[in-house]
């Protein structure tokens, strides 16, 4: 930014001028591209979601929506085995992460998360003018001893579980050990937990510093609906409610999300399909010479043994197949590839075979 631009924008807070915004994955607007770059679910959502959305009446659009999305909270509470007042809804789980950061992080306060992980955490901390404390994962994607150490002015810990981009999971024991050792809230980001079959929701009752965020974007095929939620003890939810926008979830998304949460049979079938393609995908990528990190999510993290990740990304992109090329400071780069349908996997493998055959 030039000096002239800087002085013109002087009314912004300094940290806003200094920070970079979140760069989301490419979203091409044609229907020809195969999109395996943003971890969307390849299958359509439960038909009951569409039915619920179509049944929303003009009268409920004329009025403001239910500020606490209570219909959703009661179905979710029943599924998760908690009371409704343990749940806070958001416009996607990104909004939950934003609320939590705003609630706990004052300027200068430290926020810790393992590196590399979800890139949005940096942006949220920068908005608060907080201080980033990113601690490298060990080579096997476990947490290093430093991660468990308490520290002055630590305001919040983020932990994506499964992690993105690795797709790896940490055990409940390790997460509880962390919650007990650090003296601040620990937000376990479970955007991909349904695909892993493990969750920390059942541990929330044990310690009020453990907060768990979840989303309907991935396992419920509803990234476009924007609905996520937090599970925490009621005294924590009660404080967070104070900082949320009054009507953060609209009437249409509440209706759709409630229907999605009710249709657990659809969820189970969907998870089964994604997991089965994931296992085929790992085996096929390995047979093509990729080193693939074992994944518990709906994507895999991989690198080819002798072709650069950027070259593979560019080749696939030029043939209308998008994967996510990711480059992390001092860590290196790789490809994060979303699990699509079996047909999309065939298309990926065919392209990779033809690329790797050419010298
Ligand atoms: C680790 C992680 N957390 C949270 C999110 C946010 O999901 P959403 O805002 O769609 O609920 C994502 C999205 O890709 C993610 O990868």
Parse the chain into domains and list their residue ranges.
25-44+272-357, 47-262
Burial of 300 (0-12, 13-18, 19+ CB in 10 A): buried
> Which atom of ligand 1 sits closest to the CA of residue 163?
1
| Alpha-carbon span 96 to 151, nearest angstrom | 25
> Which atom of ligand 1 sits closest to the CA of residue 97?
4
Is 160 touching ligand 1 by the criterion CB < 6 Å?
Answer: yes
- 47-262: which CATH topology? 3.40.640
Residue 23, pLDDT > 90, answer no
- Specify the CATH number of the domain 25-44+272-357: 3.90.1150.10
Is 164 touching ligand 1 by the criterion CB < 6 Å?
Answer: yes
User: How far are the Cα atoms of 24, 31, 76, 212, 233 from residue 84, in angstroms, in the given order?
Assistant: 32, 40, 8, 15, 10
pLDDT digits (tens, 9 = 90+) for 263-285: 999 999 999 999 999 999 999 99
Is 114 touching ligand 1 by the criterion CB < 6 Å?
Answer: no
| Alpha-carbon span 132 to 158, nearest angstrom | 11
Percent of the chain with pLDDT over 70: 99
Is 215 touching ligand 1 by the criterion CB < 6 Å?
Answer: yes
Is 351 touching ligand 1 by the criterion CB < 6 Å?
Answer: no
Residue that wins the pLDDT comparison between 3 and 315: 315
pLDDT digits (tens, 9 = 90+) for 118-160: 999 999 999 999 999 999 999 999 999 999 998 889 999 999 9
Between the CA of 148 and the centroid of ligand 1 the distance, in Å, is 24
Structure letter (DSSP) for residue 219: T
**Structural contact between residues 138 and 144, judged by C-beta atoms closer than 8 angstroms:** yes
**Structural contact between residues 165 and 334, judged by C-beta atoms closer than 8 angstroms:** yes
Residue that wins the pLDDT comparison between 208 and 30: 208
Residue 359, pLDDT > 70, answer no
Is 222 touching ligand 1 by the criterion CB < 6 Å?
Answer: no
C-alpha triplet 200, 203, 209: angle, nearest 5°: 95
| Alpha-carbon span 96 to 184, nearest angstrom | 17
> Which atom of ligand 1 sits closest to the CA of residue 227?
11
Please tell me the pTM assigned to this model: 0.96
Between the CA of 97 and the centroid of ligand 1 the distance, in Å, is 9
């Amino acid at each position: 930014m030039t000096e002239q631009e800087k002085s013109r924008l002087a009314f912004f807070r300094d940290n806003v001028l200094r920070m970079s915004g979140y760069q989301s994955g490419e979203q091409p607007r044609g229907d020809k591209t195969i999109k395996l770059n943003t971890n969307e679910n390849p299958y359509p959502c439960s038909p009951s979601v569409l039915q619920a959305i179509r049944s929303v009446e003009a009268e409920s659009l004329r009025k403001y929506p239910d500020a606490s999305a209570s219909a959703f909270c009661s179905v979710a509470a029943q599924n998760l085995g908690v009371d409704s007042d343990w749940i806070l809804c958001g416009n996607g789980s990104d909004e939950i992460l934003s609320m939590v950061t705003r609630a706990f992080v004052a300027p200068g306060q430290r926020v810790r998360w393992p590196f590399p992980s979800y890139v949005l955490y940096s942006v949220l901390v920068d908005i608060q003018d907080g201080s980033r404390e990113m601690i490298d994962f060990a080579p096997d994607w476990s947490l290093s001893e430093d991660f468990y150490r308490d520290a002055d002015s630590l305001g919040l810990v983020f932990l994506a579980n499964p992690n993105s981009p690795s797709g790896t999971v940490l055990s409940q024991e390790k997460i509880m050990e962390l919650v007990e050792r650090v003296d601040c809230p620990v937000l376990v980001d479970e955007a991909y937990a349904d695909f892993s079959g493990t969750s920390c929701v059942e541990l929330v009752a044990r310690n009020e510093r453990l907060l768990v965020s979840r989303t309907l974007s991935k396992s419920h095929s509803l990234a476009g609906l924007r609905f996520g939620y937090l599970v925490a003890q009621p005294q924590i939810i009660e404080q967070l409610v104070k900082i949320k926008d009054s009507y953060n979830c609209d009437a249409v998304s509440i209706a759709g999300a409630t229907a999605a949460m009710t249709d657990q049979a659809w969820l189970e079938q969907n998870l089964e399909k994604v997991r089965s393609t994931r296992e085929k995908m790992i085996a096929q990528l390995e047979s093509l010479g990729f080193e693939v990190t074992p994944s518990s999510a709906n994507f895999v993290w991989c690198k080819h043994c002798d072709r650069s990740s950027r070259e593979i990304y560019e080749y696939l992109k030029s043939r209308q197949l998008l994967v996510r090329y990711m480059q992390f400071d001092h860590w290196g780069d790789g490809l994060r590839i979303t699990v699509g349908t079996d047909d999309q996997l065939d298309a990926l493998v065919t392209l990779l075979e033809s690329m790797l055959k050419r010298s």
